[in-house]
Amino acid sequence: MTVEVPLSGGDVVTEGVVRVGDTVRRPLGPHSPAVHGLLRHLEAAGFDGAPRLLGTDEHGREVLSWVRGETPARPLPAYAVTEEALAGVAGLLRGYHEAVRAYEPPADAPWDTVASALDGAPEIIGHCDVTPENVVFRAGAPVALIDFDLARPTTRLYDVVTALRHWGPIADPCDRDGRLYGADVGRRLRVFCDAYGLAGDDRRRLLVAARVRFERSYEAMRLRAENVGGGWARLWQGGAGPRIRRAQDWLERNWDDLDARLT
Ligand SMILES: Nc1ncnc2c1ncn2[C@@H]1O[C@H](COP(=O)(O)OP(=O)(O)OP(=O)(O)O)[C@@H](O)[C@H]1O
Ligand SMILES: [Mg+2]
């Protein structure tokens, strides 16, 4: 008998994600062929920080390998907020960026090219959604990125900024996970950028990129809530908009301190 165990991570934007034995089954979308090419490339490149694509099943779902370990749920467990974990996530993202560099996506891949163009001249196919729920840990150390649904052409800096929105976190203290309420975010940004090996130019542009990104995410989420509905609408009704506004205010208030810590 096949047992399907429902999985949900974070915002549960993707409905119908289940575990079957050592596999994960996820619904296909327009982006799936491009993401599958990406996962095959990572496998060929020997990058083991991502699930393997095993095919599609009789219900038309993608079949991925189950990555052994745990993904931090909210409230975040202690192991997910250490500086070692933070540096580990940065190293994982860097490893992914190195492995994906040589990937030539199909020319007709239905990425969100409008958003990509706004990020600047694309350098890589970024993961673009490195939240705690999308990182698998084993014995307290991050070992894999999962959930490549939002992958698209972007810059390294943009992918780093998106990760830091969650892992800094670049957020008002009142919206942070309990264990990160009083976190020294300036220090955490520095730890992440050091472990990633972020170039000096990119460090100097990081806060500006965060500022631009917040404004764009606000608009993008509002539009998705209206036009796509489902999980996006639930996110928006749950106060995603005001959370972004508070994060923007916090960033502006702490700009000089953060900038000094980064450069
Ligand atoms: N390949 C995998 N290996 C191990 N765990 C997985 C894997 N895929 C998914 N999971 C678990 O299932 C949860 C949900 O999966 P996934 O992130 O793919 O979908 P989702 O979070 O519902 O989508 P979204 O991030 O778009 O809201 C993850 O947070 C993780 O705990
Ligand atoms: Mg997820």
Write the residue with the smallest CA distance to atom 16 of ligand 1.
147
Query: pTM for this one?
Result: 0.95
Task: Report yes or no: 80 and 88 within 8 Å, Cβ to Cβ.
Answer: no
Ligand 1: which residues within 6 Å by Cβ? 7-14, 17, 24, 26, 51, 64, 66-67, 71, 133-134, 136, 146-147, 149
Question: What is the 224 CA–ligand 2 centroid distance (Å)?
Answer: 17
pLDDT reading at 14 higher than 70:
no
What pLDDT does residue 41 have?
A: 98
**Six-digit token pair at 69?**
């370990």
Report which of 23, 41, 58, 28 is spatially closest to residue 98, judged by C-alpha positions: 41
**pLDDT tens for each residue of 158-216:** 999 999 999 999 999 999 999 999 999 999 999 999 999 999 999 999 999 999 999 99
**pLDDT tens for each residue of 117-169:** 889 999 999 999 999 999 999 999 999 999 999 999 999 999 999 999 999 99
pLDDT reading at 258 higher than 90:
yes
Quick one: DSSP state of residue 68? S
Looking at residues 16-42, what average pLDDT do you find?
Answer: 95
Q: What are the start-end ranges of the E strands in 23-65? A: 23-27, 53-56, 61-65
